[in-house]
Amino acid sequence: MRALEEGADGLECDVRLTRDGHLVCVHDRNLKRTSNGRGLVSTKTLAELEPLNFGSWHPGYPGDDDLPEFSKLLTLDRLLTAVRDYGRPVRLLIETKHPSRYGAEVERKLVELLRRHGLADNRPDNPVQVTVMSFAALALRRVRALAPAIPTVYLLEILPPGVGRGRLPFGARIAGPGVGLVRSKPSLVPALREAGHQVYVWTVNEPDQLDLVLEHQVDGVITDRPKFVQDRLAQV
């Protein structure tokens, strides 16, 4: 929640489905890089993942046996509860990770959980405004079918056919290019804006990257350094 304390409008998380059907906020499909576990997230139950330390990999984070709060596994259910109770409106961008052995079940479980928290209808008075993101166009199509009110972001690392002319796949409402793609394809953001799409850019961590996206007047900036971005915006 440190990002919110630093003034960020919201948070971004990646979700994967466990073997017993829980959505957990874990980036990698394999546990090896970001925890002291081994194997694939999708082959583990929640009970098998809970004891692992997900903070010890990070420089400066102690990896002790007591599992400090930042090292505990975060489930999406717990995150939704925390942001709902935060005390001010929060935007939550949720990326569904694909490919997954569970396919469409990832989005079904996600929408089911959002409904349980009262967040699938995206009402203006909701304490949390949810947006779903994915590199998989089919995943966004599923979200649009299951919960039409939820905005969807088509994440881009390379440029698929047609997108350079401002066309997004059916089901996608917002473009989400990486900052490297924005730099290498300077006509991309203007084309997307001309086609009526909003643009969220990731991951903007350096001054020259922030200058670039501000020049393009993008609609959303995804960063690991919210205070840096907030301080820079205050100067504009």
3.40.50.300, 3.10.50.40, 3.10.450.100, 3.20.20.190: which CATH number matches 153-236?
3.20.20.190
Listed residue (171, 172, 224) closest to 199, CA to CA: 172
CB 146 within 8 A of CB 139: no
How sure is the predictor about 195, in pLDDT bands with cuts at 50, 70 and 90? Answer: very high
Q: How confident is the model over 40-55, as pLDDT tens digits?
A: 999 999 999 999 988 7
Beta bridge partners of 14: 95
The H or E element spanning position 211 is helix 207-215
Higher confidence at residue 20 or residue 63?
20
The pLDDT score that the predictor gives to residue 2 is 82
For 35, 44, 46, 47, 106, the CA distances from 51, given in Å and listed in that order, are 10, 12, 9, 8, 23
> What is the radius of gyration, based on Cα positions, of the chain?
18
How sure is the predictor about 236, in pLDDT bands with cuts at 50, 70 and 90? Answer: confident
Residue 122 CA to residue 222 CA, distance in Å, equals 21
Q: How confident is the model over 124-180, as pLDDT tens digits?
A: 999 999 999 999 999 999 999 999 999 999 999 999 999 999 999 998 989 999 999
Residue 54 CA to residue 160 CA, distance in Å, equals 34
Q: Is the pLDDT of residue 57 over 70?
A: no
Q: How many residues does the chain have?
A: 236
CB 14 within 8 A of CB 34: no
Residue 177 CA to residue 53 CA, distance in Å, equals 31
Beta bridge partners of 77: none
Q: Give the side-chain half-sphere CA count within 13 A for 157.
A: 4
Mean pLDDT for 43-68 is 76
For the chain, the structural domain boundaries read: 153-236
